[in-house]
C-alpha cells in the first residue's frame, strides 16, 4: 500500500512501568512459596530472553510465527479492506515488531502505532526502526506491563471517524488461563468504541506430536529460553540459585488443552532468594508457562461474551493456526 511522505520524529518513550525490581522480587517470592511453584512468564522477556524467543521463532519445530506470517501475507488485502484507512493501531507485547511491519505496510495510510512492551531495550530499538521505515506513521512506544491498566496516549483515546485497531498476534492470548483470557478480552473491549477492531492470533488444537515438538526443539533453544528465567533471577537478586540444577520440560496437557512449560529440579535442594529459603525435591517443578490451544467455536464464544462480534477467520491450509478479526459492538 502507498503511504504519504510526511516525516516523523524519532519516537519518545512513555514509561508506564512501576519499580520493576521490587515487583519482580515480589512475584518470584510469591510464586516459589506456592504448593505448585510458579514463576510468571512475563519475566521471560529481558533482553536475552527476547533474543532467545526470536530464535525460537526460527526453529523448524515452532510453526506459530511462520504460519501466522504466511496468513498475514496471504490475506492482507482482505484485512486492509476490513480495517479501512487512517486507523490508529495499538499492539500489546510488540517485541521486535516483525509482524507489525507487514500490517503497517499492508494497511492504507495508518495514522499511528502504539507498541506496548515490558522490555525497554527491545521496544526502543524496534520503535526507532519502525519510525524510520514508516515516516508517515506516528510511533508512540510505551514501556509497561499490559497485564495491568496502562494510560494510553491521545492518539488512541481520542474519538475519531477512523477505526482503532488492537493487534494481538502470536497467540499470546494462549498464555492466559481461560478466565484470564476472558477478562483480558473484556479489557481490550473497554479500550474500543463500537465498530473498532481486534486482530488477534489464536493457536489451534492439533496433533500432540506437533505441539510437543514445537516446545521441545531439537536445538534446545526453548530449553535455554525457559532456563534463562533462572539466570535472570540469579543476575538480579542475592541468591544461591544454580540454573544448572534444573532442566526444561514441556508437554501437552490434553485435559486442559494446553502446553505446560516447567523447570524441573535435578536434585533435592534449598534455594535462597534475598534471604527467603525454598526447598525443592528432586523432580519437583516450577511451572513457568501455559499455552492454551483453542477450537474455533470455543474462542468465538469467548469473544462474543467479551463484547465482540466475530467476523472473518483466516487459517493456513493445514489449519494449524487462526487469525481472527473481531468488531466491538
How much is the average pLDDT of 35-55? 92
Q: Can you tell me the distance from the alpha carbon of 215 to that of 129, in angstroms, rounded to the nearest whole number?
A: 30
pLDDT at 158: 67
pLDDT of 158-207, one tens digit each? Answer: 666 778 999 999 999 999 999 999 999 999 999 899 999 999 999 999 99
Residue 138 near residue 4 (C-beta atoms within 8 A):
no
Percent of the chain with pLDDT over 90: 78
The label of the residue with cell 500490517 reads 103
Q: Can you tell me the distance from the alpha carbon of 320 to that of 210, in angstroms, rounded to the nearest whole number?
A: 10
Q: Can you tell me the distance from the alpha carbon of 329 to that of 327, in angstroms, rounded to the nearest whole number?
A: 6
Whether 19 shows a pLDDT value over 60: the answer reads no
Domains and CATH numbers, the chain: 22-89+99-108+164-329 (3.40.50.150)
- Give pTM, 2 decimals: 0.89
pLDDT of 180-193, one tens digit each? Answer: 999 999 999 998 99
How much is the average pLDDT of 81-87? 95
pLDDT at 152: 81
Q: Which residue has the higher pLDDT, 172 or 19?
A: 172
- pLDDT category at 117 given cuts 50, 70, 90 is confident
The label of the residue with cell 481461560 reads 178
How much is the average pLDDT of 294-318? 97
Three-class secondary structure of residue 116 per DSSP: strand
Residue 71 near residue 321 (C-beta atoms within 8 A):
yes
- pLDDT category at 210 given cuts 50, 70, 90 is very high
pLDDT at 151: 77
- pLDDT category at 10 given cuts 50, 70, 90 is low
Amino acid at each position: 500500500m502507498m503511504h504519504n511522505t510526511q516525516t516523523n520524529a524519532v519516537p519518545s518513550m512513555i514509561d508506564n512501568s512501576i519499580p520493576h525490581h521490587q515487583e519482580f522480587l515480589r512475584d518470584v517470592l510469591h510464586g516459589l512459596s506456592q504448593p505448585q511453584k510458579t514463576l510468571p512468564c512475563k519475566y521471560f522477556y529481558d533482553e536475552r530472553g527476547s533474543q532467545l524467543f526470536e530464535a525460537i521463532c526460527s526453529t523448524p519445530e515452532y510453526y506459530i510465527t511462520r504460519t501466522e506470517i504466511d496468513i498475514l501475507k496471504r490475506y492482507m488485502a482482505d484485512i486492509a479492506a476490513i480495517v479501512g484507512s487512517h486507523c490508529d493501531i495499538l499492539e500489546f507485547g510488540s517485541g521486535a515488531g516483525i509482524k507489525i511491519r507487514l500490517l503497517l505496510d499492508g494497511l492504507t495510510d495508518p495514522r499511528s502505532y502504539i507498541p506496548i512492551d515490558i522490555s525497554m531495550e527491545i521496544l526502543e530499538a524496534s520503535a526507532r526502526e519502525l519510525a524510520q521505515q514508516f515516516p508517515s506513521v506516528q510511533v508512540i512506544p510505551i514501556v509497561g506491563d499490559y497485564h495491568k491498566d496502562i494510560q494510553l496516549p491521545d492518539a488512541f483515546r481520542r474519538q475519531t471517524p477512523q477505526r482503532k485497531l488492537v493487534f494481538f498476534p502470536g497467540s499470546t492470548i494462549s498464555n492466559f488461563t481461560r478466565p484470564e483470557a476472558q477478562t483480558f478480552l473484556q479489557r481490550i473491549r473497554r479500550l474500543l468504541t463500537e465498530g473498532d477492531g481486534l486482530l488477534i492470533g489464536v493457536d489451534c488444537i492439533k496433533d500432540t506430536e506437533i505441539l510437543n515438538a514445537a516446545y521441545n526443539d531439537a536445538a534446545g533453544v526453548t530449553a535455554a529460553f525457559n532456563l534463562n528465567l533462572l539466570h535472570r533471577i540469579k543476575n538480579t537478586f542475592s541468591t544461591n540459585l544454580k540454573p544448572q540444577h534444573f532442566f526444561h520440560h514441556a508437554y501437552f496437557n490434553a485435559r486442559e488443552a494446553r502446553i505446560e512449560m516447567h523447570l524441573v529440579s535435578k536434585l533435592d535442594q534449598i534455594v535462597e532468594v534475598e534471604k527467603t529459603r525454598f526447598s525443592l525435591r528432586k523432580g519437583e517443578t516450577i511451572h513457568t508457562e501455559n499455552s492454551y490451544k483453542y477450537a474455533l467455536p470455543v474462542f468465538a464464544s469467548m469473544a462474543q461474551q467479551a463484547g465482540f462480534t466475530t467476523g472473518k477467520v483466516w487459517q493456513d491450509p493445514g489449519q494449524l493456526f487462526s487469525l481472527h478479526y473481531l468488531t466491538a459492538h
